[in-house]
Structure 1
Amino acid sequence: EIHPEDAERLWINEGDLVSVRSHHGRIEIPARITDRIEKGNVFTAFHFPELRTNLLIGDSVEVNTGCPEYKVVAVDVRAMSEAPSGTPALAVAD
């Protein structure tokens, strides 16, 4: 999921394949544009193995539960289709 303003700036349309990259890995998933998410943030479910979201996270775990830190991963999002030259990527920090 990506905010509409971020999607517009990055030339991403609903359903477009996007590259989501972290320091740990990269996945390609279809974009879902929604204002449910705050501008500058992205979201993807980690419950579905076919999305391969685990490739984006490191070995860090939440101190109290020992669960992987799925919700605090810095990523770079780019459209997989041709965007005009100089189109920036959305870099989302943790």
Structure 2
Amino acid sequence: MRRIVFAKEILLLLMILTISFSGFSKEKEVKSFWAASSVKIDGFRDDWAEVAFADEKKVKIDYAFKNDAENLYVLYIFKDPKYLSSISVTGITLW
């Protein structure tokens, strides 16, 4: 009987630790939305009205992703031009 109680306590502790550590994760998951119609590559966000934007507060950027069967579309909105100029020099990597 004592072993069963001890095993339940250990199991409960492991479950609490698992849930706690998953809450401390710094990685953010951003979903890509399905593009119901073709996306115009024109620099305007008219095609993105139904998409929820994520933000990166440190660098003052809003961004969103859309995809169709063949392509991934990315929209960045830079609120501070100094970060835009650094990306035009160094480039950007998506993975």
What band does the TM-score fall into relative to the shorter chain? under 0.3
For CA contacts below 8 A with separation 6 or more, give which structure has more relative contact order.
1
TM-score, reference length from structure 2? 0.25
Larger Rg: 2
Greater share of residues in helix: 2
